[in-house]
């Protein structure tokens, strides 16, 4: 259980960093370690869902490998685009 949490934090942080490097945000919304980790963790969930839809596989696993980081990064990029689409529609 503890190992799974550590892996989620590591994969999430790495995916968040990669997503921010690929799709940089504005300086108006800075986020530190925790913001980056949360982006990556949510991205890992979204990326895992996309992977399971495309591959048709069942089950769930927490791995510390390159493909986990790639799919988490893809998910984090999707999350960034969804957040921007929602934020772009707001009128203040």
Q: How many other CB atoms are there within 10 angstroms of residue 24's CB atom?
A: 9
pLDDT digits (tens, 9 = 90+) for 12-22: 888 888 888 88
pTM of the model: 0.76
Which residues, 6 or more positions from 62, have their beta carbon under 8 angstroms from its beta carbon?
A: 3, 4, 7, 8, 68
* For residues 73-90, average pLDDT: 82
Give me the number of domains the chain comprises: 1
Which residues, 6 or more positions from 31, have their beta carbon under 8 angstroms from its beta carbon?
A: 39
Whether the pLDDT of residue 8 is over 80: the answer is no
pLDDT at 59: 57
* Rounded-to-integer distance, Cα 78 and Cα 39, Å: 10
Exposure pattern of 54-81 as b/e (b: 16+ CB <10 Å)?
eeeeeeeeeeeeeebbebbbbbbbbbbe
Domain that holds residue 50: 2-89
pLDDT digits (tens, 9 = 90+) for 29-58: 657 777 777 888 888 888 878 888 887 776
């Amino acid at each position: 259980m503890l190992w799974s949490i550590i892996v989620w934090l590591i994969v999430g942080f790495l995916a968040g960093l990669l997503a921010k490097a690929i799709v940089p945000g504005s300086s108006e919304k800075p986020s530190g370690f925790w913001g980056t980790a949360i982006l990556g963790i949510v991205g890992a969930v979204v990326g895992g869902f996309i992977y399971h839809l495309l591959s048709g596989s069942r089950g769930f696993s927490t791995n510390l490998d390159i493909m986990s980081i790639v799919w988490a990064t893809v998910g984090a990029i999707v999350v960034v685009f969804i957040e921007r689409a929602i934020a772009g529609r707001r009128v203040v």
